[in-house]
A and B are shown apart, each in its own frame.
Chain A
Amino acid sequence: MKRFDQELTELQHRLVEMGELAESMIATVVRGLEDISMDVSDVILKSEDVMDNLQVTIDSEVVRILTIYSPVATNLRYVLTVTHVTSNLERIGDQAVNIVELLQLMMARSTMKPEPRIIQMGHAVREMVNGAIGAYINKDSKEADKYRNRDEYVDSLNDQIMREVLSEEVALEALKGEPDLAGPLAQILIARALERVGDHSCNICDEVFPLVGGDHIKPFQ
């Protein structure tokens, strides 16, 4: 039994590592958006590789633990939710890569800068990722609830950006005859990517409830 506990701790350790990586990727991306620099792209791409490896490691570890120890009750629930969390974290990493690519596009093809709202969104989303991982690790349903509610704020920012970019600038640029399509497009897609990161954070928050109470709560569905 002691061995099993050790394995669980080790699994948790790997998961924390992955969560940290996801958060730092988002933080790095946000810094890149703020400074409008591509210095971060190498870091992000490297992190993405590490992330993928970690996911594979953790998932195979989960399968191993399930087959060898056949855990029950709380332990079983925990081990099962781990795979969900890893897949969400992995997608957060993917979105970080997407954002870097979009930033590259924006810098290469447009004179536009990322909107202040995008930076705002970035900070909010980074906090959400951090909070979601914290809530999951601490099995704290209150925190989970708090951070999953932040998603509304992120969504509203996303809507605002979309509306603004679509209404004025694209139309005007297009009418002028020298359209800067890449800028607004990147703007929208970056916002969308950040919004997706927020959704993944919410999914991680959702995994806390079965850990704590044993039942799935999905108020938005």
Chain B
Amino acid sequence: MWSTRLFWKPFTYFSLLIILSSVIGGATTIRWQQEQIIRQLELRLRNTAIALQSPAEEALAHQDIEDFQSVIQTMASQINTRITLVGKQGQVFADSHKDPQQLDNHGDRPELITALKTGNGSSKRFSDSLGIEMLYIAYRIEHQGTTVGCVRAAVNTQQISDQVADIQFKIATLVLIIIVGGLSIAGIGISKMTQPVVHLIEEARELTSGQIKKPRNLSKGNEFDELGQTLNNLSKTLSKRMRQLERNHNELLVVLEGMKEGVIAVDGSDCIRFANEAVCRMFSLDVKRDEGRPIWEVLRNQMIETTVHKARKSDEPFHGKIELLTPHELHLSLSASAIPSSSHSSSSKNPGVIIVFHDITEIHRLENMRRDFVANVSHELKTPLASIQAFAETLIDGAIHDDDNNMLFLTRIVEQSDRLNLLIQDLLSIARLESGENVTDFASVDLTEIAQRCLNDHQSHAAKKNITLVSNQIDSVWVFAEADGLTQILDNLVDNALKYTPEDGTVSVNIQAESRAVRLQVTDTGIGIPADHQDRIFERFYRVDKARSRQLGGTGLGLAIVKHLVNAFGAEVDVISAADQGTTFQITFPLVDDGDA
């Protein structure tokens, strides 16, 4: 508090005022007192001289100097005054302090000269007789109209200065006491007045620096306390707001960080102000390193940069799509919108922009697949139809009478119709499976029995290509599935295996009952599936080699149906294969107890 300007400024003024007034007052009093003392002394001397005028006249007239001498000697000692009787020519007749015989002629003393001339005189000078400074007052003595001498009263000036010094000392002491007292009263008063202000300032400073303390208890009183009360309320509201703001901020942060969408915020000069975790993953950013750097430098994508600029210029959010190659192959849709800045913000010229990235890679893939599917279906349907049309037209154009070929053409037409039929049937079952309708009547099914039946059905087909068709399992293995569906899976897998296995190969169906699952493996020694095709073979109409597949009469839907059915049974299908080394399709069923049904 002692260091505040608030205290020192008024205190200095007050001190100056007090010191100045008391010093001037003291000085004036001293001077006045001094004059008063001198006047008093002079008056006393005058009175003494006047009182002695007539005794002196008498003494001179009667030549009774001896008596006078003794009178003035007693008197002088009593009133502490030197009294001298001087004759008209300056000869000393009597003196209270010295023997008049020893004194020289006093005719040259200025007070005596004036007194003889005008009646009285005074002077303050150094006494030749006594060797000290004296104040002299002299009066003329007249006897019957003629001047006979002078009576002179003198007093030691030392006496005056002693008295004056005494008075000076007293007054100075008083002044000092007044100054000290005044200063302390002023100091205490001012400090009392400034103390609350200092506290308020401290409090306000804490408020601005963000630390909010418990409000002080303030008594109701003057305006300062009222101000303090207001500040207390302000601090309470502010701290409440701050807490709320902090909570909101944290909530927002959690939401933003938890979002699957990438969010990035840039300021008016394109520098990144915020990037959530998702966006860091998408672009492999390092928040610590990249925050505060320009977005064009960090993301290095022209499209994003132009998006930011476009969004900044328009009020509407701006949408776009980008394809990323590094660090991952990603399709992103982005929408950017300018952050509306308050009108009094200085950066309103160049508002910040928030960009939200949605990962649409999966959607993009599915869209592609659907587009492919539609194209494939139309193509697959068109091919047999075109053949049928061509053969029919040929027959109409006259080939019907050509006995060598008409039957051949008709057979082809039937073949193509069968193919068309097969295709439509497959499409229907796919559609049914996808809508999830028909796989409701689950039961425990003997996998071995179904496998055996399937092998029997395909035996003739295998024999044509001289392929060995074998199975390992004899015991019954029960799985929880639907018999028709299971048959369809096995038919498809074995049919595929036979198709893609060259002559003299082997196709084996293995069933293994393990402790927790049942494995069904269909293994062939065929042409195999190259690794980069393996994760796509379950897609509809996906073919590793289009020409060969169609020649073999597949619809391109077999494995898609298998996949759907397997999923419906809660099982899993894997493919293990390498080019030219055969393929194994493995289906893992969750186990059910033997002989449950």
Contact = CB atoms under 8 A, between A and B. Distances in A.
A20 B297 contact: no
Interface string A17-29: 1011101100100
> Which of the four size classes fits the interface of chain A?
10 to 19
| A interface SS class | helix
A192 interface: no
B300 A134 contact: yes
A19 B300 contact: yes
A20 B302 contact: yes
B300 A133 contact: yes
A138 B285 CA distance: 11
Nearest to B269: A9
A157 to B, nearest CB: 17
A180 B579 CA distance: 28
A9 B289 contact: no
A17 B297 contact: no
A16 B297 contact: yes
B552 interface: no
B368 to A, nearest CB: 14
A148 interface: no
A13 B300 contact: no
A137 B289 contact: no
Contact of B296 (A13, A23, A24, A126): A13
Nearest to A27: B325
A85 to B, nearest CB: 14
| B interface SS class | mixed
Contacts of A41: none
Q: Which of A16, A126, A133, A138 has the most CB of B within 10 A?
A: A16
A16 B325 contact: no
Given A9-B294, A137-B297, A130 B302 contact: no
A145 interface: no
A155 interface: no
A21 B301 CA distance: 9
A138 B289 contact: yes
Contacts of B296: 13, 16-17
Contacts of A19: 300
A20 B326 contact: no
A12 B300 CA distance: 11
Nearest to A138: B289
Contacts of B289: 138
A126 B325 contact: yes
A17 B305 CA distance: 10
B325 A13 contact: no
B294 A137 contact: no
Interface in B316-366: 325-326
A115 interface: no
A101 interface: no
- A-B pairs with the 4 shortest C-beta distances? A130-B326, A20-B300, A20-B302, A16-B300
Given A13-B296, A16-B297, A24-B302, 14 more contacts: A9-B294, A12-B297, A13-B294, A13-B297, A16-B300, A17-B302, A19-B300, A20-B301, A21-B302, A126-B325, A126-B326, A127-B326, A130-B325, A137-B300
Interface of A: 9, 12-13, 16-17, 19-21, 23-24, 27, 126-127, 130-131, 133-134, 137-138
Interface of B: 289, 294, 296-297, 300-302, 325-326
29 contacts: A9-B294, A12-B297, A13-B294, A13-B296, A13-B297, A16-B296, A16-B297, A16-B300, A17-B296, A17-B302, A19-B300, A20-B300, A20-B301, A20-B302, A21-B302, A23-B300, A24-B302, A27-B325, A126-B325, A126-B326, A127-B326, A130-B325, A130-B326, A131-B326, A133-B300, A134-B300, A137-B297, A137-B300, A138-B289
